[in-house]
């Protein structure tokens, strides 16, 4: 069963159709990759799915029953969805540990004014930071991390949310081999745990290795879909959109 579906999803910017009546489905417990040349609408799709930009037409269906034509970003977490960003976005002025703790925070109206983190929150934060190898940097400001460490912290934040559906926007770009291995292993572990992963990625070797299904977009429209081996072998896809 699809965990997220789009039906005739539409978004334009100043007359340019960024996502053009797109209907795609992301199956529960699978890794689905969305590929295509720059400007094909991949990141716009992620932004629409996470409520960061308003939908102009069509709808988003979550878990087969909840239909959105308008989704609020802060409610996305309530539907078990989270994401990373192509240009890593952290809480720069906060220490590494707080970047994770803030995700775990429960926010009652008055209680939060006096409430501190519970031992459970701290244990969970330690667990995810150890997993990405950043526990030793927990007191450093996010601002001071290297590019790769920033990507890993974003992944740690995703792990802390315990979301069922995770949208990863170019998670492997610019990583050193050892960091790349950590992120690839985490993706595999998440799949084993039954999480749904939506990958926006340009690294075709990793897409072949990880994906159960891929969608190829061009100019906001669906160009091809299917098993990665067969779709990525298509000459028209290779020549026109993947530049290989």
Partner 1 sequence: MDILPQLILNSLIAGSIYAILALGFNLIFSTVNFFDLSYGAVAVIGAYAVFYFSKLLGWPLFVAVPLGVLISGTIGFLLYTSVYRRLRMRRSSNTVLLVASLGVLTALQALLAIFFSSQFQTLSATSSGERLFSLFSGSITETQVIILLTAVAVLLGLAFVLKLTLFGKAVKAVGDDEEVAKIVGINTDKIIGKVFFIGSAIAGLAAILVGFDTGIEPIMGLPLLLKGVIASIVGGIGNVYGGVAGAFLLGFVENFGIWKISGEWKDAIAFAVLILFLVFRPQGIFKK
Binding site for partner 1 (CB under 8 A): 50-52, 72-74, 76-78, 82-83, 85, 89-94, 98, 101-103, 105-107, 109, 112-117, 157, 161
Closest to partner 1 by CB, 23 or 69: 69
Smallest separation (angstroms) from partner 1 to the CB of 94: 6
- What is the spatial distance between Cα 159 and Cα 161, in angstroms, rounded to a whole number? 5
What minimum distance in Å lies between the beta carbon of 97 and partner 1? 10
Nearer to partner 1, 5 or 98 (CB): 98
Nearer to partner 1, 157 or 195 (CB): 157
Q: Name the residue with tokens 């004014």.
A: 113
Of 72 and 235, CB closest to partner 1: 72
* Per-residue tokens: 38: 């720059």
Compute the least distance from the CB of residue 122 to partner 1, in Å. 12
In whole angstroms, the minimum distance from the beta carbon of 13 to partner 1 comes to: 14
């Amino acid at each position: 069963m699809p965990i997220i579906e789009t039906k005739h999803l539409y978004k334009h910017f100043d007359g340019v159709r960024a996502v053009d009546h797109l209907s795609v489905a992301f199956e529960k417990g699978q890794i689905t990759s969305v590929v295509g040349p720059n400007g094909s609408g991949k990141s716009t799709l992620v932004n629409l799915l996470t409520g960061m930009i308003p939908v102009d037409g069509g709808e988003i269906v979550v878990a087969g029953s909840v239909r959105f034509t308008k989704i609020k970003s802060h409610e996305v977490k309530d539907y078990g969805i989270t994401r990373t960003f192509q240009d890593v976005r952290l809480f720069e002025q906060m220490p590494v540990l707080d970047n994770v703790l803030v995700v775990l925070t429960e926010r009652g109206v008055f209680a939060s004014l006096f409430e501190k983190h519970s031992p459970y929150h701290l244990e969970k934060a330690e667990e995810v930071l150890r997993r990405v190898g950043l526990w030793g940097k927990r007191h450093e400001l996010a601002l001071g991390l290297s590019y790769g460490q920033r990507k890993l912290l974003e992944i740690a934040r995703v792990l802390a949310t315990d979301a069922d559906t995770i949208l990863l926007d170019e998670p492997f770009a610019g990583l050193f081999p050892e960091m790349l291995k950590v992120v690839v292993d985490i993706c595999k572990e998440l799949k084993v745990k039954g999480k749904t992963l939506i990958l926006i990625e340009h690294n075709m070797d990793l897409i072949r290795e990880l994906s159960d299904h891929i969608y190829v977009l061009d100019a906001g429209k669906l160009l091809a879909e299917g098993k990665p081996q067969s779709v990525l072998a298509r000459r028209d896809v290779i020549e026109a959109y993947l530049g290989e």
